[in-house]
Amino acid sequence: MPSKKHLHIESSGQLCIYCGACVGICPLNCIYLDETRITFDEKVCTRCEVCVKACPVGAIEIG
Amino acid sequence: MPNLKTDVLVIGAGPAGSMTAKWAAKSGAQVLMIEKRQEIGSPVRCGEGMSKAWLSDVGIKPGRWINLEVEGARIYSPSEKVFEINEKHAGNEVGYVVERDEFDKQLAIDAGNAGVDVVLKTAAVGMLKENGRIVGAKVKRFGETFEVRAPVTIAADGFESQVGRWAGISTNISMRDMDTCLQYRMTNVDCDVRYCDFYLGKVAPGGYVWIFPKGDGLANVGIGVQVSQVTGMADARNYLDRWIDHHPGYAKGKKIDMVGGGVSISAPLKQTVGDGIMIVGDAARMIDPLTGGGIANGCIAGKICGTVAAEAVHAGTPTKEFFQKYEKGWRAVLEEKLYRNWLAKEKLVQLSDETFDKVIEALQDFKLEKLSVHNILKAVHEKYPEVTKEFEAFL
């Protein structure tokens, strides 16, 4: 099985504004917002990239 | 913290949550409302424009959360032809610019005064299930996890809602049905405090640019862009920055604050209740798909939701069947408009800038009595019948 692409959510505050847009759009409900920390479930995430588009400030990258 | 028991557990202390909690308590239920943030209403994630006619219906009194009262709204076409909506057309739709954090706090105060227990810095992390029904939630507070058991759980956890989905109710939305939003609070801008301004067309694909004046040259300047129209990273920010650069009255302003967020612009959900659970507000995708406004709908549904929650507690029947009273109740008031505006949105996002210009031009010349999708189409039909062909279903 090909390995999944790397997904990175920049949530140190450099870009991320903790708005939760990615959390709400994620079709698999696998992104979590904990005030100033965003995490996602590596195993559940399919790298569909919807969150990348939904992020208003470009804090999510897949590559 | 030891495990807790209550009649009604409300997850999320936004307007819909506080309103639900208040009405459940007023109807005699014991209510616990949890909020993951440390401060209700902050940070603000809102344009802060609000209509006003509905407020007295749900028992909200004017307060210091009112920033200013506007006379109307101005809609700008892509070539910046203006159509002005005033009190005469819109009646109750014209309203306030608000201090949203103060508003949320006032609603939580009202809930507290009605007897609701409010616990801050407490997040739901999972549901408690027994025989397929929801019987409360697992919550986390200061790093400690404990259980809150309740016959009725309310998911009022906003756009990024997870509670409904944990409970097995689909609240998923597609990229067509979401706007990604960014807003600056700007000072030293040339806005008119009498109007909220909206700019349509390719400046904000599938959405619009908004200006909500806050007085003394201060304004909320924001944008919503349909996610399915996004082609690059950070498009919302890039579109907004570009719009500001092209408007000297705003380009000279100073950005003093930035907020972002997601707004659902979807058709109403098929289902908002389950055994032991009801979903309300943005979490239930009750946002108006045309305007992006969610406060009024969340509060209107919250009043119904809270009342039904207490009735279910008293009757000892917190079941999906019993909650049909809420399901039917909010739909009777909100569903038709939500659905109609969703259809209108689906059409509007396909319009070219040229067509938007024609629509605004037609509206300028037409003596519009009452503002409605139907009347707007009538006005456009009179001048540009070819433009309304796509919309015949609405006429």
Mean pLDDT of chain B: 93
Whether this model's ipTM surpasses 0.85 comes out as: yes
pLDDT in tens for each of the 63 residues of chain A?
Answer: 556 788 888 877 788 999 999 999 999 999 998 877 889 998 999 999 999 999 999 999 987
Whether the link from the prior residue into B43 is cis, omega within 30° of 0, is yes
Instruction: Report if residue A2 sits inside a domain.
Output: no
Neighbour tally for B82: CB within 10 Å? 13
Domain assignment present for residue A54? The answer is: yes
Q: How many domains does chain A have?
A: 1
Tens of pLDDT, residues B262-302: 999 999 899 999 999 999 999 999 999 999 999 999 999 99
Beta strand B178-187 with B218-226: parallel, antiparallel or unpaired? Answer: antiparallel
Answer whether A57 sits within 8 Å of B260, measured CB to CB.
yes
Check if A30 contacts B (Cβ < 8 Å). Answer: no
For residue B156, is pLDDT > 60?
A: yes
Q: Does B13 touch chain A (CB under 8 A)?
A: no
pLDDT of residue B371: 72
pTM of the model: 0.94
> Which pLDDT band holds residue B382 (cuts at 50, 70, 90)?
confident
3-state secondary structure of A42: coil
If one counts every other C-beta atom within 10 angstroms of the C-beta of residue B231, the result is 7
- Assign residue A16 the CATH number of its domain: 3.30.70.20
Instruction: Give the Cα separation of B305 and B310 in Å (integer).
Output: 9
Q: Does residue A1 lie in a domain region?
A: no
Of B165 and B389, the one with more pLDDT? B165
CA nearest neighbour of B57 among B341, B369, B334, B340: B334
pLDDT for residue B379 is more than 90: no
A24 in any annotated domain: yes
Token pair, residue B150, equals 């309740």
pLDDT at B395 over 70: no
Interchain contact, B178 vs A25, CB within 8 Å: yes
Collapsing DSSP states into helix, strand and coil, what is residue A33?
Answer: strand
Joined together, the tokens standing for residue B172 give 């998923």
| Lowest-pLDDT choice from A5-9, B97-101, B172-176, B208-212 | A5-9
HSE of B169, CA atoms in CB hemisphere, 13 A: 27
**Partners of residue B234 in chain A, C-beta under 8 Å:** 55-58
Q: Domains in chain B, please, with CATH?
A: 4-43+99-173+267-343 (3.50.50.60), 175-264 (3.30.9.10), 344-394 (no CATH)
Could you give the CA distance from residue B200 to residue B356 in angstroms, rounded to a whole number? 7
Q: Which residues of B touch A23 (CB under 8 A)?
A: 160, 162
Name which of B183-187, B290-294, B387-391 the model is least confident about: B387-391
Percent of chain B with pLDDT over 90: 79
Q: What is the rounded distance in angstroms from the CA atom of residue B44 to the CA atom of residue B48?
A: 9
Compare CB distances from B227 to A17, A29, A53 and report the shortest one's residue: A53
The answer, for A34 touching chain B at a CB cutoff of 8 Å, is: yes
Residue A19: domain span: 7-62
